[in-house]
Amino acid sequence: MRLAKISFFREPAGLTVAEIVAMTGAEPAADAPPDRAIADIASLERARACDLTFLDGSKHLDALAATRAGACLMTGEFAAQAPKGVAVLRVKEPYRAFVAVARALHPDALRPSTLFDAEGAAPGAHVHPSAEIEDGVTVDPGAVIGPRAAVGSGTVIGANAVIGPSVQIGRGCAIGPNVSIVHALIGDGVIVQAGCHIGHDGFRYHSNARGHVKVPQLGRVIIQDHVEIGAGSTIDRGGGGDTVIGEGTKIDNLVQVGHNCTIGRHCIVVSQCGISGSVTLADRVMLGGQVGIADHITIGEGAMVAAKSGVISNIPAGEKWMGYPAMRRYDYLRIFAQMRRRPK
């Protein structure tokens, strides 16, 4: 196998420097050839003469000096340090502009696609006759769509995914392979990566001397528009009310969200976080990797929790906390510094 030759996306259609300028609002240097063809995007180090690259901040000036890129998005500050021949495109937020071009060049990378070049329901998919599948839905082989489920136009249901009875999935979603979704209502433009399990029983028992009696879990999962959930994550349905994931929130791989949680809009939850039952995250909360949050905790708008923290008290809006038990970041770092410098 010639590994370097194998690509999993379609060859981009390409753009000219002028088209990139129009798309990003960049100001081209006087010697930037407007009709130069840009085939793809790449980092400063990897870029070929047909690639667009970018410089953000002053950290990679060495790489800039050595780059062979055809064009570079950057602020004006370091423009003079770009090698001769690179078309310098000045822009206020170079990375933002770079991402915009990347998205335009690679529309097939914006969400997972069919894994079988399927159109409509592939042979080997199991769609219950009572399910309502809009036109323009793709169902890969082995996917199971249960009775009374509904799937909106443009959505892809991945191979061997399982959609339970009465589940509603909106338009333009991508449901990955081997996902299961039950007791859930999913909005538009939602991405559920492979192997997520959504809507299963919360972990709730009434314990007595003889053991643990299962408490019926009667609620649902509501996932609002433009949420993305990473591979292998689990989101339990509500016990009485619902578990809600707010619009635009992004959840990484192997995250656990317990029953009755309310996650706000535009939150970021990094890999392997564990969010216990009945937790509330307000909008734009950020949780680092492997954070744990005790049940019934509330975290205020825009608060940030450092990786590996364990949160057992409410966090006010806008604050940065860390440690276990988590406390204000400043306090934690002070205590930690003292510990390190104590006499031996």
Give catalytic residue positions: 259
211-214 vs 205-208, strand pairing mode: antiparallel
Residues whose CB falls within 8 Å of the CB of residue 118, separated by 6 or more in sequence, listed in order: 138, 139, 140, 141
103 phi-psi bin (left φ>0, alpha ψ -120 to 50, beta other): alpha
Q: Which is nearer to a second copy, 61 or 294 (CB)?
A: 294
Query: For the purposes of burial, counting CB atoms within 10 Å of the CB of 311, is it exposed (0-12), middle (13-18) or buried (19 or more)?
Result: buried
Q: Which is nearer to a second copy, 33 or 142 (CB)?
A: 142
What minimum distance in Å lies between the beta carbon of 1 and a second copy?
6
- The answer to whether 29 and 21 have CB atoms below 8 angstroms apart is no
Query: For the purposes of burial, counting CB atoms within 10 Å of the CB of 216, is it exposed (0-12), middle (13-18) or buried (19 or more)?
Result: exposed
37-38 vs 15-16, strand pairing mode: antiparallel
- The answer to whether 289 and 270 have CB atoms below 8 angstroms apart is yes
DSSP reduced 3-state for 268? strand
H/E stretch holding 286? strand 286-287
